[in-house]
Structure formats: structure tokens, C-alpha cells
Structure 1
Amino acid sequence: MTPIMHKAVRSLSIVLALTLSHPVFAGLDVPYPSGVERLFTQQTENGTLRVPIGPWSQQSSVPHEKRSGTATVSTFELRATSITPAQVAAPIRQTLRDAEFQITLDCMSNECGGFDYRVNTPIVSPPNMYMNLRDFLSITGFKGSDRIINILISRIGERVYIQERRVDPSADAPVTHSKIKTIAQPTPTTNVSDQFTQTGAVTLEGLDFTSGSTNLGEGPFSILSELADYLRQNPNTKIVLVGHSDAVGGLEGNIAISKQRAEAVRQRLISKYGIQKSRITAEGIAFLSPRASNQTPEGREQNRRVEAVVLQ
């Protein structure tokens, strides 16, 4: 085989490996929840990546380190799930520690710097990666001077997106496997207090509005009782109720409807549960923040909802 043919075959082998398998550090399998699907993979031999090693600050923006070697960028998606970025990250963090990686960055959303972190950190473009500024986690670990990995996890609606950026020695190419290493999905967080702590927002599941109107049904609705208990236990907390709609009809009409439904929930919390009206506001954003496709009846049903968002 001529050198040119050998190089062509080797290049084709690399492409096939990336298409059919998930490359990992030799000796380091990154565990992801079962059901995860790869969206994108790009590998460059003798490449260089800038990897974040700390949160954003006014003094240093987002500090990065450059590492050279076999550079790999991959993204993954987990659909129809209620697990959080923190739950996805827990076994990953432990795997890095067990492999003797030094963790230099481990932060969530505002701790990372929120919007400022996003605009100063390399992110794969949609549709291969999406990032929710309210609900993401970033973790970076390195080992020696030639291995580094950053994993960014973000939740949007019922989907979790993961970006993995890493560099390993060119002389020690990543081992490839036919399947992504997965673990059983952790038990979803359903407690209102825990959800507020982790994401700052709770979807008020199970509400029933009279067909074709903005009137809230008689109930009882356990989620409202739980939300009221949380507000009583945290008397200084204020929330905004945000109404969402499907994409049937125009924007202005749906904004009005979604706000009226949020207001109906607000009035129920005030009249039935005795929550002070000054602690709750209501807004509507129509179909501008979907959590499912509006192309199916099931998706439209999921998009018609009210969320509670912590203000302070």
C-alpha cells in the first residue's frame, strides 16, 4: 500500500470511528444517563482547544487554558427527561475524581457568570447544542499537562444537552467504543424546594383550565398546595408566575391568554392559600419558550403551562 493510500485509509477509519462510536480518554469512560444520543463529534489530531478553568469575573472574564493534542468536541441530547444538570453531573464528577483528575471549575448558572460566561465560552452552534442561561452546569478537570476535559450540561424544557470538549495526548489516541457508556437515570427531583434551589423555577404540573378559557378548574391541585407551603416556610421569597401557550394563533393573543392563566393561578394562591398578593406577580410569554414541538397535539399540550420563578 502506498503512503498516500495508507493515509487515506487511516483518515477514513477515523471518520468511521467518529460516526459509529463515542471516543473517550484511554481509561476514562464518561458516564451519561441512559437514553442519551450523540448529536455532533469533531476530532482534530494535533489540535488545540481553549478550555474554561474558572467562572467569569470582572477582573479576568472567563479564564481559559490552551491544551494541544488530540482535540475532540462532542454534543449529546437526552429527550423527555425530568432529571437536572446537577444529577447528570454527579457521576461524571466522581468519575473524574476516581481517575485522579484535578477539578478546577465546578459551577452552576449564576455561579459561573450566567450570560457573561456564555458569551466568553466556546459553544457548539444549534441545533447541535442549546444552552439555557437559567439552568446549566459546567465542570472542568485536568490530569498532568496533557489531559483536560470540560463538560457543559444544560436543561431546556424536557431535554438535556451536553457538550464535551477535551484534549488528550496525540500519542495516546482515545479508545473508541460502539456504545456510549450510560448509567441508569437518577430519580427525578420533584420537590418544589429542591427545584427552586437547583433551577430557580418549577413547572406547575397538573393544573386544569376550563376548555377554551382562562378559568382555573376547581382542583384540588397538589402542586399549588406544595407551592403555598414553600412560600409560607420562606416568608421573604417572592415569585413570578409565567404563563406559556402553544403556537396556535397570534403572538399578542397568546400573550394575553397566557398572562390571564398565570393571573388565575395567582388569585387562587391568594384567595385559597392566603399568600400575600405583594409576593406574587403574573406574566405571560405565549409560545416564546416551548418545551416541546408545537407540531403535535402532545407537544402543544406540554407547552400550555404555568411556571413559578423565584425572584428573591
Structure 2
Amino acid sequence: MIRFLTLCALILAGPVAAQDLTLPASARQISERISPLDSYDLPTGPFADGAVPARILKGRVERFSWRLQAGSSTTLQLLAPLRDQIEAQGFDIVFECEARTCGGFDFRFGTEVIPTPDMYVAIQDYRFLSATKGSEVLSLLVSRNPPDGYVQMIRVTPLSGPSPTPVVIEQTVDGTGGLLAGFERTGHVILDDLHFRTGEVALGDGPFASLTLLAGFLAENPGTRLALVGHTDDTGDLQANTSVSTRRAQAVRTRLINAHGVAADRIEAQGVGYLAPITSNATAEGRDLNRRVEAVLLLN
């Protein structure tokens, strides 16, 4: 516990003094990525007119995620004590929303999210806030996959030096940064807005924002290809699940070709059944999360 609180103090440390952020004792850090010089698109409002309004920030960018035991706690109950702490430390809340008022999956895909399984975001059950304290900026994203809760923090501090460049560089309304930023950084991404019920292989009518973004990425990067990988929950035997997962990936491939004009030779589709779960299949929520299609970046 002492080690965890010390880590939290470092996360919220200002240029001179450290500040504490206390999470529940059950919280466990899942990921950490610190970039001495990077940029972050800070959401400043809900998804509207095809984009998430944001400010592009430049400086030291710290990205962290935690998993904790949420039990029956709501996302508001998870977020509220964290919000109270950062307000007590002098941060002003710039923007706060819950899934519906944020913009659902459009907001989720329009903002930066640490890739699954290090951060999980339920499209209809998350909360977000952004806050500032002078030139320091941070955002919190909270969601649940019962019995677990997830917390993501992204923090930006200005460049050090006698005459630091102002941290706010420009305004942006780019709604594609979240999914594509994770895709380029890690080489794979879960297409969270595609959902399959147990045993089903048909893809709904859409529209699916993730497929639009992937098609645009391929158009702008002619030297790349995609591998679509289908996954299932553990209902049934491996042979049947491998077949189902392959057909799901093929359905996504067909949609990209027919509806988005992607060349057939730039997409391949495979399935691995239940061999690569990202969470336990013991709950309905976990099984729903495991029924997914991922896009893997390939270079020609």
C-alpha cells in the first residue's frame, strides 16, 4: 500500500512539490508510459458535429492505468473521490461527462485510450473528466467490467527550462486520434464498436466508426496492410469457436471491401476461437468483451 501511494504521489508531482492521489487499497497499476516530450489531445467537450473538440498539448506526457475491485460501485462512485482529491489540490474541472452525454462510442474512439487489456472502456458505462492547474493538465477516464473497475490518467506538464513554451499549442477537432493513435503505437487495436452474440457471425448494418477510421488509415498509408483476427468466448468446443471467429473476421473484411472500397489484397482474416481471451469468461460481461475482432497492422 505504501509503495502504491508513493507511486501516486509521483504521478501527480508538480515541478516542485508532490501531491497525493489516493485510490482504493484494491487498486493495482496495470500500465505506465512516460514520454519526456510528447503531445496529447485533451477533450474539452462532448462528441458533436463529427468530432471531439480538444486542445493539443505538448510537454511531458504521463499515461497510467489501474484495475481495482469495483463490486457494485457505479462509475460515478469510482470517479467522485478522485475528482474531489484533484479539486482539493487546486485543479479546476474543465469538462466532465458520462457515457451518454460524452457521445458513447464516438467519444470513446475520438479520445486517447490506453489499449485493452491495460484499460477497458464499456461503451455505455464510463465517465471522463479533464482538469487544469496553471499549466498542468490531466484527464481521468473511469469504466467498469464487473467485478473490476478501471481508471486511466493522462497528465501533461510543460517543458522544463528558463522560458518554457506555452503548453497549449492549438485547438483541434480531430475525431480520429484515439483509435488510430493506439493502432499506430501498439500495432493492433480492438474494434470495440463491433459486437457479436454467442454463436453469431453476421455483422450489423452499422455504421461502424472503427471501420471508417481503418479504411481512412489504409488510404493514407499505402505501404500497410491489415490482419483481422476474430475471437470468441469459451462457449462450445475449440473447433466450432475457431470457425465462428474466422467467419466474424471475414465478415468485417467483406464490409471493409464492399462498403469502404479497401482493396481485397490489403486485408486478411483469421480466427483463433477462445485461445486469446482478454478477460475472464466467468461473467456475461467478460464473455461479451472476449467476442471481438482485432485489427493487426502489417507492413508490406
Q: Does 1:126 align with 2:148?
A: no
Read off the aligned partner of 1:52 and give its amino acid letter: P
Deviation at 1:303, TM superposition (A): 7.5
Check conservation: 1:41, 1:74, Cα contact below 8 A: yes
The equivalent position to 1:46 in structure 2, one of 15, 29, 37, is 37
Q: Partner residue of 2:298? A: none
AA matched with 1:21: L
**1:21 matched to which residue of 2?**
7
1:169 aligns with 2:158: yes
Map of 2:26 onto structure 1: 35
Q: Tell me, what secondary structure is at the counterpart of 1:21? A: helix
Distance 1:250 1:137, change over 3 A: same
Q: Contact 2:140 / 2:151 at 8 angstroms: preserved in 1?
A: yes
What is the CA distance between 1:153 and its match in structure 2? Answer: 0.3
Which residue of the other structure, out of 83, 91, 95, is the alignment partner of 1:105?
95
1:310 maps to none
Partner of 1:87: 77
Distance in 2 separating the partners of 1:82 and 1:301: 15
State the AA in 2 paired with 1:33. Answer: P
1:90-239 aligned at under 5 Å gives the runs 90-144=80-134, 146-171=135-160
Question: C-alpha separation between the residues in 2 aligned to 1:150 and 1:121?
Answer: 11
Q: Answer with 1 or 2: which has the greater Rg.
A: 1
Deviations 1:138-180 (A, max 9, x none): 0110122x210000001112111111111113439xxxxxxxx
C-alpha displacement of 1:30:
2.5
Q: TM-score, normalised by structure 1?
A: 0.49
- Which whole-Å CA distance do the structure 2 matches of 1:302 and 1:168 have between them? 36
Measure, in 2, the Cα distance between the counterparts of 1:302 and 1:149.
29
Query: How many residue pairs were aligned?
Result: 173
Q: Taking structure 1 as reference, are residues 300 and 39 closer, same or farther at Cα in structure 2, changes over 3 Å only?
A: closer
Quick one: which amino acid aligns to residue 109 of structure 1? A
Change (3 A) 1:39 1:57: same
State the 1:40 CA deviation: 0.7
Q: Structure 2 vs 1, CA of residues 143 and 157 (structure 1 numbering), >3 Å: closer, same or farther?
A: same
* Cα pair distance change 1:300/1:111, threshold 3 Å: closer
Match of 2:205 in 1: none
Question: Secondary structure of 2:150's match?
Answer: strand
Matches of 2:71 and 2:62, distance apart in 1: 26
Which amino acid in the other structure matches residue 164 of structure 1? Answer: M
CA RMSD of aligned residues (A): 3.4
In structure 2, how many angstroms separate the alpha carbons of the residues matched to 1:46 and 1:300? 41
Distance 1:248 1:115, change over 3 A: closer
Q: Output the CA distance in 1 between the equivalents of 2:34 and 2:236.
A: 44
Paired residue type of 1:38: Q
Residue aligned with 2:101, SS:
helix
The alignment's TM-score, normalised by the length of structure 2, stands at 0.50
| 8 Å CA contact 1:35, 1:78 repeated in 2 | yes
Specify the code of the residue in structure 2 equivalent to 1:45: P
**Aligned counterpart for 1:76 among listed residues 66, 80, 86:** 66
Could you say if the C-alpha distance between residues 80 and 105 of structure 1 is closer, same or farther in structure 2, counting changes exceeding 3 Å?
Answer: closer
The alpha-carbon distance between structure 1 residues 301 and 52, as it changes in their structure 2 partners (threshold 3 A), is: closer
In the alignment, the residues of structure 2 paired with residue 82 and residue 25 of structure 1 have an alpha-carbon distance, to the nearest angstrom, of 31
- Answering whether residue 284 of structure 2 is matched by residue 293 of structure 1, we say no
Distance 1:43 1:93 in 2: 22
1:272 paired residue number:
none
Rounded to whole Å, the distance in 2 between the matches of 1:82 and 1:291 is: 21
Gap change, CA 1:50 and 1:291, over 3 Å in 2:
closer
Match of 1:62 among 52, 76, 101: 52
Residue type at the aligned position of 2:125: D
Residue in structure 2 matched with residue 191 of structure 1 by the alignment = none
Alpha-carbon distance in 2 for matches of 1:249, 1:48: 45
Aligned residue for 1:257?
Answer: none
SS at match of 1:51: strand
The question of whether the paired residues in 2 share the 8 Å contact of 1:156 and 1:291 is answered with no
- Name the SS of the counterpart of 1:123 in structure 2: coil
The Cα shift of 1:132 comes to 0.2
CA contact (8 A) 2:117 2:278 kept: no
**Identical columns (%):** 27
1:57 to partner: Cα distance: 1.1
